[in-house]
Amino acid sequence: MDLEIVTLAERPDLAEQLWDFDDLWPRFMQQDPIGDLYYSRTATRYAEFTLLAFDRDDPGGRPVARSCAVPFAMGAGLGRTELPEDGWDGVIRWAWLDDVAGREPTHVSALEVAIRPDLRGTGLASVLLEAKRANAVRLGFTELVAPVRPSGKHLEPRVAMRDYAARTRPDGLPVDPWLRLHVRVGAEVVGVCPRAMTISGTLAQWREWTGMPFDATGDVVVPGALNPVHCDVTHDHAVYVEPGVWVRHRLR
């Protein structure tokens, strides 16, 4: 595949094509309210950190992948000496607050590498991760972090993330494919962010999002979820708290 990778800052006319991807995430995953703080500004404030990849030989011109990231500030003066325990949600909120306060960012956090479903397994994830790293260097950053969503964890929702993330192969690399890709290109696994994303809703909403009954109090294993969803029939709500794994790329 003859790839062309551009930022939305370079090609703002491509902004609408950022959404030309189907079935990337389960429907319940699209209900995180913090995500709106990012996606509402993906093509504007964060355009320099947003990448789109195209196959030059595709006459249809559809994007084959996208990469999303945000800049944020860390430092003792901000009370930010460790990466946030609320992972994806936390770093998006930090980036938003930094922008409002006019703070100069010190780090970049990856948020997503999304591959068109018909092209998954073709090596594009590795290419987009390298492009994300190179773009951070181009913008003058020396560290890229990521609240990784391990790609195989949904198959074992009752296993604690700290145990899952610690599994390694005989060669020392993580068992999980997405964590392994990060480590293979030089990332360090920093630790678990136990509440990387929180999604709540009424039982009617969860039934709509998942097609499942949500009619008994207790844990509900939902396809695609990394942890069980906590269902409370008495109070008519269910809450999903998704863990992630922080990784750090030191860039040159």
Which tens digit of pLDDT belongs to each residue from 128-174?
999 999 999 999 999 999 999 999 999 999 999 999 999 999 999 99
CATH number of 3-196+243-250: 3.40.630.30, 3.40.250.10, 3.40.50.620, 3.90.700.10? 3.40.630.30
Q: What are phi and psi of 239, to 5 degrees?
A: -130, 130
Give the model's pLDDT for residue 236.
Answer: 98
Cα(36)–Cα(199) distance, rounded to whole angstroms? Answer: 13
Cα(234)–Cα(118) distance, rounded to whole angstroms? Answer: 42
Query: Is residue 22 very low, low, confident or very high in pLDDT (cuts 50, 70, 90)?
Result: low
Give the three-state DSSP class for 94. helix
The pLDDT tens digits of the residues spanning 40-75 come to 999 999 999 999 999 999 888 889 999 999 999 999
Cα(23)–Cα(165) distance, rounded to whole angstroms? Answer: 26
Q: Domain map of the chain by residue range?
A: 3-196+243-250
Contact 19, 68 (CB under 8 A): no
Cα(186)–Cα(33) distance, rounded to whole angstroms? Answer: 32
Give the model's pLDDT for residue 59.
Answer: 84
Instruction: Give pTM, 2 decimals.
Output: 0.94
Q: Which residues 6+ apart lie within 8 Å of 205 measured at CB?
A: 31
The pLDDT tens digits of the residues spanning 199-225 come to 999 999 999 999 999 999 999 999 999
Give the model's pLDDT for residue 138.
Answer: 97
Instruction: Give, as one character, the DSSP assignment of residue 168.
Output: B
Cα(178)–Cα(244) distance, rounded to whole angstroms? Answer: 12
Nearest in space to 50 (alpha carbons), one of 21, 20, 11: 11
Pairing of strands 188-201, 3-7: unpaired
Pairing of strands 188-201, 218-220: unpaired
The pLDDT tens digits of the residues spanning 96-136 come to 999 999 999 999 999 999 999 888 889 999 999 999 999 99
In this prediction, residues 65-88 reach a mean pLDDT of 97
Contact 92, 146 (CB under 8 A): no
Cα(206)–Cα(210) distance, rounded to whole angstroms? Answer: 6
Give the model's pLDDT for residue 167.
Answer: 98
